[in-house]
Amino acid sequence: MVNLTKLAAPLDVGGVRIRNRVFLAPMSGITDEPFRQRAHAHGAGLVVSEMVASGELARGRAGFNLRIRHSGLPVHMVQLAGREAAHMAEGARIAAGEGADIIDINMGCPAKKVTGGYAGSALMLDLDHALSLIDAVVGAVEVPVTVKMRLGWDEGALNAPMLARRAEQAGVRMVTVHGRTRCQFYQGKADWRAIARVKEAVSIPVVANGDVSSPAEAAAILVQSGADAVMIGRAHYGAPWIAGGIAAAAAGEATPNIPQGSTALADYIVAHYEDMLALYGVESGLRQARKHLGWYLDRHAGGATDDGRKAILTAFEPAPVIALLRDVFSRDPQSLNLRSAA
């Protein structure tokens, strides 16, 4: 495929070596430690923590240490969000103290609860303030700092190239661009060609993000954007192996550690479930895991009954959930949708 082999090559980010150029995007409430470990095991080049609110982290709010805890992977990357320079700097110091190799600044989240606090993609409305946060983080830590952004707030303010250029001048070592504006949220098609304007504006690596779920789409986004790497988010719902599958395709190899067959898939999903219970505790873990179980059911067990699905997603004890999962996912593999990179 045109240009796909580029994704198999390592990438240097401020002196940190990334093993390939297909990344797992940071996703709030999704890319926790168990999910990142799986994506890495399947071959994703870089995995990023879920977004961490810098103010809550700086104030020591309970539970936030789990989001920045080092999971033993070769590269530990933490994404911070916030509006206050002092909190962003302190959050970065705390994350670096926990072993973060790269600190990413969120300037792309479109969620109202984030932009309503003038963080995330709302920072693209005030580039001077956005730069004050970048300066604070870069000045607070020795590790490389990166930024994730959108094309702009809306079609009338497509200022990602300007933000990227100023970020590079401030010491940022890589930028990721989602090919939509904030006001688009996730509607319509990501504009991959618009990312090319960011690539033209800077000399640091540019990562293209938005609507990639297959090797063909990864090749297309590289051609249209000229980017150095690809970041993939929502395509991973119910399939933590997507980034690794694309990286493997780029290298002409098989996706590592894919569950082969229905019994292996059942074991895989149960192990993911149990790891979440171990991380969060049973009460919280039951709630946290439900979205993942729902995605696994949607993607791989279309034949599951409504009653069986409801029982899995509403149970308050782990044992019946595990028994039901093994029953549903251990059936005839023809009823499953087990695909390695799509």
Look at residues 300, 299, 285 and name the one whose alpha carbon lies nearest to residue 321. 285
Tell me the pairing of strands 16-18 and 11-13: antiparallel
Catalytic residue, candidates 4, 109, 232, 286: 109
CA distance 209 to 24: 10
Tell me which H or E stretch contains 85.
helix 85-97
Collapsed DSSP state (helix, strand, coil) of residue 55: helix
Calculate helix-pair angle for 242-251, 215-225, nearest 10 degrees: 80
Query: Could you confirm whether 109 is annotated as catalytic?
Result: yes
Q: Tally helices (H) and strands (E) across the chain.
A: 14, 11
CA separation, residue 85 to residues 81, 92, 118, 163 (Å): 11, 10, 13, 17
**Tokens 């980034």 belong to which residue?**
243
Give the separation between CA 58 and CA 155, rounded to whole angstroms: 35
How far is CA 295 from each of CA 11, 163, 235, rounded to the nearest angstrom? 31, 35, 11
Closest by Cα among 306, 307, 304, 302 to 327: 304
- Which positions ≥6 away from 211 have C-beta within 8 Å? 179, 189, 190, 192, 217, 221
Residue 88: how many other CB atoms lie within 10 Å: 27
Which amino acid type is present at position 282?
V
Integer Cα distance of 78 and 98 in angstroms? 10
CA distance 5 to 317: 46
What residues act catalytically? 109
